[in-house]
Structure 1
Amino acid sequence: MNRARQPLKIVPLTADHDTPASAPSGSATQRIVDSITTAIAERRLMPGTKLSEQKIGDIFKVSRTVVRQAFNQLSRDRLVVLEPARGAFVATPTAEEANDVFEVRAILETAVTKQLCATITDAQVKQLREHLELERAAVNNAEVPGRTRLLGDFHLVLAQMLGNQVLVQMLSELLTRSSLIALMRQSSQSAEESLDEHVAIVDAFEKRDVKAAVRLVSKHLANVQHNLHLDPQRVDLADILHH
């Protein structure tokens, strides 16, 4: 029996400047971690970007010690690299790491697809259709951060329907690293292609066609990996973290 759906890890970015100065440092640390993670997930914060302790401290109105704590957490998640005497940088995954991440995603998402296709309810199919409409609206409106988040969330929704939160957490982390590996915002054309592929996947779920669903998910992940590009654009941290 499916358990109640829990909130997705990747959430809309917020930066609350009204947090009292007396708030626990852990809360401030998590706000920084969540903001940077979301900016990476939405492909607004690019690999190799220098993360200034002082500037981020000013943005969130916290001490550099709190910022350092956030960097350490992000480093453990492999989203940030800490270099002695140089500071913190958004990680720049190698091609080998990119292949490894997508290989693990394929293994996990194939397993999710097989299990979910055998147990999916009409109500869950309806939920997926509703999510597709949100994706379509974001793609049509060219909302890059919104469409990137929603296209990624589609995969998390599938995992959440199984009710396994460990699986959801693992996949969420992989999706964030996939966004980092992508190195650039998704083009309108590739976003539309992803949406079309999601529609085909949901069609297979609705028919309870396990073989077709697995084939379509595998093809979709291969296409996403194939469409990775390089974008060495410069960024402004204050604009990104307050987007």
Structure 2
Amino acid sequence: MSEPASATQRIVDAITAAIVERRLMPGTKLVEQQLADLFQVSRTLVRQALNQLSRDHLVKLQPARGAFVAEPSVDEARQVFEVRQMIELQLVRQLCKSIAPAQVQALREHLRREAEALARGDVTGRTRLLAEFHVLMARLLGNEVLADLLADLLARCSLIALMYQSSHSAEHSAEEHVAIVDAIEQGDAKTATRLMQEHLGNVERNLQLHPRTVDLATALRIAA
């Protein structure tokens, strides 16, 4: 990889990680000169990185206003989870057919790291690891295209969770991951698929994708 391309990717990776780890909030303005100073690169390279992040739907470019961390709509949130259901249910089915002991061990090691991050109250670490669990399963199938696709979807899910304040606890997610791995290790595709469907459904259901108020009177607590 050439030096400019490497520098551009470094910016993309840093911003993506900040989104996945919930350090960058939706709607945050990304000032080109500030980023150029932080990464010690030209604004041209920063612009290239922002354009790439825009194609990945993580950044919104607004004419005459600049770049902002994306703010997914309710419809987009639902569509992202619908795509994840399609992909990840098939993913666990395939893993149940082909999983090897060494691959189970890799999943168990990841679960151990999740548990350690939870135990020490490492919010950034646990958030990253809970997302990476899903990407790891794709990598264990040897499908890097699928792994990259899931990584993109997980980054968008992090933005969605930030906007709609998921109450689905990290502890609950980690417990569900353990149950999924148990089923995969046993080659129980039916159970693994059901557990993954429930896991994704639980995360989505706990997002506040419905408006809290339906009209002005309700919002102002004025009786009809």
Q: Tell me, yes or no, whether TM beats 0.5.
A: yes
> Any idea what SS the aligned residue of 1:89 has?
strand
> Any idea what SS the aligned residue of 1:88 has?
strand
Residues 158, 120 of structure 1: alpha-carbon distance in 2 compared, 3 angstrom cutoff:
same
Residues 187, 81 of structure 1: alpha-carbon distance in 2 compared, 3 angstrom cutoff:
closer
Residue 186 of structure 1: CA displacement? 8.1
Match of 1:138 in 2: 117
Q: TM-score, normalised by structure 2?
A: 0.87
Cα shift readout 1:173-200 (whole Å, capped 9, x = no counterpart): 1111111111169889700000100011
Match of 2:48 in 1: 69
In the alignment, structure 2 segments of 5+ residues that lack a partner are 210-224
Please identify, of 46-55 and 175-184, the stretch whose mean Cα deviation from structure 2 is larger: 175-184
Q: TM-score, normalised by structure 1?
A: 0.81
What is the rounded CA distance, in whole Å, between the counterparts of 2:165 and 2:62 in structure 1?
29
1:103 to 48, 63, 82: 82
Match of 2:162 in 1: 183
Structure richer in helix, relative to its length: 2
Residue 27 of structure 1: CA displacement? 2.0
Residues 135, 109 of structure 1: alpha-carbon distance in 2 compared, 3 angstrom cutoff:
same
In the alignment, structure 1 segments of 5+ residues that lack a partner are 1-22, 231-243
> Any idea what SS the aligned residue of 1:183 has?
helix
Question: RMSD of the alignment, in Å?
Answer: 1.9
Moved beyond 3 Å, runs of 4+: 184-189
Residue 114 of structure 1: CA displacement? 0.7
Q: State whether residues 29 and 66 of structure 1, in contact with CA within 8 Å, keep that contact through their aligned partners in structure 2.
A: yes
Please identify, of 100-109 and 124-133, the stretch whose mean Cα deviation from structure 2 is larger: 124-133
Residues 191, 184 of structure 1: alpha-carbon distance in 2 compared, 3 angstrom cutoff:
farther
Larger radius of gyration: 2
Q: State whether residues 144 and 185 of structure 1, in contact with CA within 8 Å, keep that contact through their aligned partners in structure 2.
A: no
Identity of paired residues, percent? 61
Residue 229 of structure 1: CA displacement? 5.6
**Greater relative CO, 1 or 2 (CA 8 Å, sep 6+):** 1
